[in-house]
Amino acid sequence: MTYEELLITLSGTTPEEALEILRENPDHKHKSGYEFIIKKDPFFAYEYAKYVIQDRWPEAEEDIKKDPYSAYIYARKVIKGRWPEAEEYIMTDKFSAFSYAKYVIKGRWPEVEDVIKTETDPFSAYDYANVIKGRWIEAEPFIKTCPESACKYARDVIKGRWPEAEEYIKNDPESAYHYARDVIGDENFWDKLKNI
């Protein structure tokens, strides 16, 4: 730690305050001291790279990559592509892993599918099926348990009737209505089904 870094640290400046100081004056005379403080917080380090440097910040990447959300958003907004060195950390957090697959990879990420399919809500599993642009058979037993997700999955992914999910869909009036109208094309579908 340099003398300047020590002085800035002892001043009690937070990473957020240091970031604001360098946003207002990127060439501040104590820049290295403020950068030292910013690097302590992975999210503010990402923000410094994005909004002040406007490029990658190699000196902070070791710290950024260890925080799943900061690593995902850094890959998305700063690197603008995959960041293989950070993927092992990103995949430890279901939200960050899903977002990384959706917005960075823009497709399947097989290494995290078990986490997405079982540890998120059924809507996120449905949303991931949209990311992979097709049916996600392995997650269908999970997706169908949520009437809204099942209805949207039938409409947007299967693009047709999904008999295996109908017992769940019919239990939610709004989802049942949308399923009948948007998927089946007959608002009276459920009434007709009762009469069979």
How many C-beta neighbours within 10 Å does residue 29 have? Answer: 8
Q: What is the pTM of this model?
A: 0.80
Q: Is 39 helix (H, G, I), strand (E, B) or coil?
A: coil
Residues 6+ away with beta carbon under 8 Å from 189? 179, 180
CA distances from 21 to 2, 76, 89 (A): 19, 25, 30
Task: Give phi and psi for 157, each to the nearest 5.
Answer: -105, -55
d(CA 119, CA 13): 38
> Which one-letter amino acid corresponds to residue 11?
S
Provide the token pair at 134.
């097709």
Residues 6+ away with beta carbon under 8 Å from 34? 8, 13, 18, 19, 21, 22, 28
- The per-residue pLDDT string of the chain (196 residues; one tens digit each, 9 = 90 and over) reads 666 666 666 578 899 999 999 999 999 888 888 898 999 999 999 999 999 999 999 999 999 999 999 999 999 999 999 999 999 999 999 889 989 999 999 999 999 888 777 766 788 888 888 888 889 999 999 999 999 999 999 999 999 999 999 999 999 999 999 999 999 998 888 877 676 5
Q: Which DSSP letter does residue 139 get? A: G
Residues 6+ away with beta carbon under 8 Å from 95? 69, 120
